[in-house]
Chain A
Amino acid sequence: MTYDLQWNILWTGENGRWLLEGIWTTIRLSALSWIFACGLGVLSGALRTAPFRPLRALATCYVEFFRNVPLLVWLFFWYFGAPQVLPRAGQDWLNLHGPEFWSAVVALSVYHGARMSEVIRAGIQSVPKTLFEASVATGLSVGQAYRLILIPIALRLIIPPATNESLNLLKNSSLALTIGVAELTFMTRQVETYTARAFEALTAGTLIYLVLCLTIASVMAQVERALRIPGLIARGVRSES
């Protein structure tokens, strides 16, 4: 295989700017979706352990439906399918604010919200049941027990699997290229198309993803250590996948 490498194509001309824009879009897309996904995850994860059946059923339906369908299908659904059932005003708003980006945010948030919900439910369930009973016995309401006791402890237990899931979100944001969001993978492809230098462009994209993922993983490991409650079930939940 003969192929002479020209790494300088990565920063000459427009290419460097494209890659940087790609990184910025990937970060913006992932961060925004992450916030929504966490919100949805905490809400539905907590509801799934709530002592009231219809609420549990509602949350279970949400989780089971959204996480068992590929993200790519959700992206197509939210980008091509869903806007046509929106009211007129909603469609106009979308067209003004970039329908690709916002469809990707919705798809990523809802899909990863469902997956995050599983992580959070497992976290809540790994908090001993007696803790809940004890907090109710001391006079806290169910809401207070969740807000003051169960959720703060569960949140710490779920840091490792939640980090894992957040990295999945970051990596999955690359699928947004299929609906035309100019994120990192999209820009990598664009550099490749304009320069016909696939090896260099793909290497750059791959390394950027690796650096992003490894940085977040190591920061979260620090956070986990900093927030550890001394004496509490040392390492509660660890997911293998």
Chain B
Amino acid sequence: MSFDWGIIAGNWKFLLLQGLFGIGSFGGGTLRLAIPAMVLGSILGVVIGLCRLTHRRWISYPAVLYVEIFRGVPLVMVIFWFWFLIPQITGQRLPDYSVALAAFVVFEAAYLGEIVRAGVQSVPRGQVDAALASGLTYGEMMLHVILPQAIRNMIPSLVTQFIVIFKDTSLASIIGMMELTKAAQIVSQREIRPFEMYLFLAVVYWICAYSMSRFSRRLDSRISPDHVQSTRVLRLSS
């Protein structure tokens, strides 16, 4: 068995520029999918997390249902649903990129919503009472008092989930979107060098994901208030 690492030297431009960054004629790209998915997913996640926390049942029950359904179903299934449903509803075929992005936002929002809920619940109850007593409305209280404190507590789990989203974007290759995994598949099939190609692919993903987790650990130790520090031992997979 001999290895030929030359295929990486020969194809790195296609793999990294087109696959990872999405600069090229195919559109797509891992980061161009992952970053909007994180941003839009977080926005939807905040909405869902807050809906779950209200006392109005007609708002909180649908939010609970949303979270439980999407957390009980594999992401692949959700991607296939969107692939099938979007053309049915809109009456036209959308590019793979939009289908993948829609599926990711909706799916990851269920997980991000749970993180938001846990973050808000970690803020002491007295803060809510004090904010309301000082005359703020519910919206103002959330925006100016609760969410800024909750976000600090949320950051470690949030970054963990962002890493998950980054890794999950590899699934967009299943519906044919051009991203890092798809690019590697194409090169591997052309060159018939799967061992070298997929090992290289693993290393690229690893470098990105691991540096994100190192960054989060540094961020975490810098901004966490003391009461978060003391509960750190109990937290998982930071």
Contacts and interface: CB of A to CB of B under 8 A. Distances in A.
Nearest to B211: A68
A56 interface: no
Contacts, number: 140
Chain B interface secondary structure, helix, strand, loop or mixed? helix
Chain A interface secondary structure, helix, strand, loop or mixed? helix
B181 A122 contact: no
Contact of A118 (B168, B195, B233, B236): B236
Given A68-B209, A77-B202, A198-B84, A85 B237 contact: no
A7 interface: no
A52 interface: no
B236 A161 contact: yes
A64 B210 CA distance: 8
B210 A80 contact: no
A91 to B, nearest CB: 11
B81 interface: yes
A68 B205 contact: yes
B102 to A, nearest CB: 16
Interface in B141-199: 157, 160-161, 163-164, 167-168, 170-171, 173-174, 181, 184-185, 188, 194-199
Contacts of B234: 122, 126, 236-238
Contacts of A189: 80
Given A175-B171, A202-B77, A119 B237 contact: yes
Given A84-B1, A206-B77, A70 B181 contact: yes
> Interface range on chain B: under 10, 10 to 19, 20 to 34, or 35 or more?
35 or more
Given A1-B88, A73-B202, A209 B72 contact: yes
Contacts of B88: 1, 3
A175 B172 CA distance: 12
Contact of A174 (B76, B163, B213): B76
A93 B141 CA distance: 64
Given A189-B80, A209-B74, A72 B173 contact: yes
Contacts of A180: none
Contacts of A64: 210
Given A73-B181, A85-B1, A126-B233, A241 B202 contact: no
Interface stretch (B10-18, B35-43, B110-118, B124-132): B110-118
B101 to A, nearest CB: 17
Contacts of B81: 202, 206
A6 to B, nearest CB: 16
Interface of B: 1, 69, 71-77, 80-81, 84, 88-89, 111, 114-115, 118, 157, 160-161, 163-164, 167-168, 170-171, 173-174, 181, 184-185, 188, 194-199, 201-202, 205-206, 209-210, 213, 233-237
Give 6 closest A-B pairs by Cβ, nearest first.
Answer: A80-B194, A81-B195, A68-B209, A174-B74, A77-B198, A239-B236
Given A1-B89, A68-B163, 12 more contacts: A68-B167, A68-B205, A72-B171, A73-B202, A81-B196, A81-B199, A84-B194, A161-B236, A175-B74, A178-B174, A210-B69, A213-B71
